[in-house]
Amino acid sequence: MNAILDVFNKYTKFFALYITYVTCYQSATLFLTSEGKSDRYYGKTKGKKGLLELFSKLILPIQRIPRYVLLLRELRKRSQTISLDIQGRIDKALQDMKDIAGKVNKAMERFAKSSEMIELEQKLWDTSIIAPHRSLSKVYKGTFSPILESDFGKKMKKYHSESSDGKVVQGSLEIRDCKAILFNDMLLLAVPMPTVVVYVSVAILEGKNLVAMDYGESSDPYTKVYLRQRNGFSERVGKTETKKRTLNPVWVEGRTAQKEAKGKQAEVRAMAKAILAGESQSGKSVTRYSESCFNFVARSKLNQLGRIDFVIWDEDYLSSDDYMGTASINLLSKLDPKKIIAQPDSGIYTNTFAGWLSLHGSSISDVTKTNKKEVGEKVTGQIRVEVAICATRAPTPDFRKSCEKDIPPHFLRPQKDTTGRVLVPAIEGSNKDSYIPIMRVMGSVESNLSDPFINNSGKELSKAEICSEEKKVIGTFELTGK
C-alpha cells in the first residue's frame, strides 16, 4: 500500500502533461482521419486495420487517468482497518487525480468548442467569427421573415425589384432554411449556399500589343476559353480562329474599340444586329460570330464558381503552339450572393463586363537565331472581351431565352446557339454544407447575448422576434428544427 502511494505522491505533478497530450491527441486524430486514407499513410500503418490499431494505442494514456481514480477509490474502500495516516495519503492522492481529471476534461471541452468554431467558420462564406472571447451557444433552423420597413427588409425588397421580371414581392418576404447561430456576443443569420444555374455569354473582340513569338516580330494568335471552378474542375468552352502574322488581332470586324468610340449607342446596336444577321459593314466581310462568341450553361454551388480564363496561344505548324498569356474574369465577384438569395426562385440576376483585360503569366519563346536555350518572358498585351453572366436558383424551360433578353442589346451573341451544359462535380468535405451570412446582430462582450428563443421562465419558443443592435424589431424567426 505504501509503495503504491509513494508512486502517486512522487509522479502526480508530472500528470499535468496529460492536459497537453489531450490537445495534441485530438489534433492528431483529426489529421489521421482526414489524411490517413492516402496510400502513403496506409502503407505505413498496414491499411485500415493498422490505422485503427494506432488509434487504440494513442487513446491509452487518456484512459489511464480515470483508471487511476478508480484504483484509488478502491484502495480507500479497503483501507477502513488501516491507519489514519495511510487513509489521509490515499485521500490526498485521490483528490490530486480528480483535479487532474477535471483539468483534462476541461481541455477536451475547450478543444471541442474551438474545433466546432473552426468547422463553422469554414462553412460560412467570406465571414470570420473566431475571436478569443467568443463561444458558440446554439444553432437554430427555421424561416426568417424580415419586416419590409426595416433597413434589412428594404435591402431585400430592393434586391427583389432587380430581378428579371421587375416585380416587387408584396407583403411578407420569407427566407426559408435559414440558420440562427447564437454566440455569447452575437446572433448571426445565414442561409444555405444555393445551387445556381449560370448562363454565360462570352465574346472575344480583339487583342493588342501581344508578345511576339515568331521570327519577324510577329505571332499567329488564337484564344481558348476555359471554365475553371474552385474545386479543380476545368473544361474548355470555346476557341477562336487564328489570326495570321499580327500582334493586334481583331476577331470581330466592325467592333474595334476605335470604331465604337466614334459611334453612338444606336449605331452600335445596329452594328450588332447586322453582325448577328451575318451582314457586312462598309463593304467588309464580317468574321463569323460563332468563331469568337460562345455561350454555356453551368450548374454548381454558388461558392464553387471559379473564373473564365482566356488563354492566348501562338499557332505553329512545325512545333507545338506557344503560350502567350492568360486573362481571367472571376465569376463569383460578378455575382452578389445576397441578391441571388433574396430574389424569387426563378428570378434571374444578371451582370456584365465589357472592356480590356491584361494578360499575365510567362511565355516560352522559340529558339532564337543564336541557338540560345528557351527562356521565359513576361507576357504583354491585352484582350478585349464582352461577358454577360446570368444566374438563377430555379431555371425555367425558357431560361436561356430569358437570359438573352437580360443581356444588353449591343452585346455580341453567337450566330448559332453554341450552348453546352456543364455540370460541375460536387465539392467534397465540409464545404458541401456552406452558408451565406445575411445579417448579424452584435451584443456586448461583457455580458452574454440573451437567447431570443428562451422566455423568462426558461421555456423554449417556436417563434421569436429578431431585434437589431438598436433594439428595433427587424423580423421574426420561426423554428423548424435544430
Split at pLDDT 50, 70, 90, the class of 291 is low
Enter the C-alpha cell of residue 113: 468548442
Q: What is the pLDDT of residue 309?
A: 92
- Residue 421 or 207, more confident: 207
Q: What is the pLDDT of residue 357?
A: 93
Split at pLDDT 50, 70, 90, the class of 231 is confident
Q: What is the pLDDT of residue 356?
A: 94
Domains 2-123 and 196-423 share a fold: no
Q: What is the pLDDT of residue 297?
A: 83
- Residue 62 or 482, more confident: 62
CA 301 from chain centre, in angstroms, equals 9
Split at pLDDT 50, 70, 90, the class of 432 is low
Residue 175 pLDDT > 60: yes
Choice among 124-133, 237-246, 402-411 with the minimum mean pLDDT: 402-411
- Residue 2 or 325, more confident: 325
Choice among 248-262, 422-436, 437-451 with the minimum mean pLDDT: 422-436
State how far the Cα of 482 lies from the Cα of 284, in Å rounded to an integer: 67
Split at pLDDT 50, 70, 90, the class of 329 is very high
Give backbone dihedrals phi and psi of 101, rounded to 5 degrees, phi first: -60, -40
Split at pLDDT 50, 70, 90, the class of 328 is very high
Split at pLDDT 50, 70, 90, the class of 317 is confident
8 A C-beta contact, residue 308 and residue 226: yes
Enter the C-alpha cell of residue 318: 512545325
CA distances from 415 to 3, 189, 237, 260, 418 (A): 93, 45, 16, 21, 9
CATH number of the domain located at residue range(s) 2-123 in this protein: 1.20.900.10
Enter the C-alpha cell of residue 159: 434586391
8 A C-beta contact, residue 453 and residue 479: yes
Residue 56 pLDDT > 80: no
Which strands, in side-by-side order, build the sheet including 463-467? Answer: 435-442, 186-192, 175-183, 136-146, 473-481, 463-467
**Mean pLDDT taken over the chain:** 75
Classify 196-423 by CATH class: mainly beta
H helices within 336-462, ranges in order? 337-342, 399-406
Residues in CB range of 46: below 8 A, 6 or more apart: none
Q: What is the pLDDT of residue 412?
A: 72
Choice among 2-11, 328-337, 440-449 with the minimum mean pLDDT: 440-449
pTM, entire model:
0.63
Residue 163 pLDDT > 50: no
What single string gives the DSSP state of each residue in 112-165?
HHHHHHHHHHHHBTT-----TT--EEEEEEEEEEE-TTSHHHHHHHHHHHTSTT
Split at pLDDT 50, 70, 90, the class of 302 is confident
Q: What is the pLDDT of residue 52?
A: 67
- Residue 460 or 325, more confident: 325
Q: What is the pLDDT of residue 426?
A: 45
Q: What is the pLDDT of residue 415?
A: 58
Q: What is the pLDDT of residue 448?
A: 66
Burial class (CB in 10 A: 0-12, 13-18, 19+), 88: exposed
- Residue 463 or 132, more confident: 463
Residue 279 pLDDT > 60: no
8 A C-beta contact, residue 22 and residue 107: yes
Sorted by where each begins, the domain ranges of the chain are 2-123, 136-193+438-481, 196-423
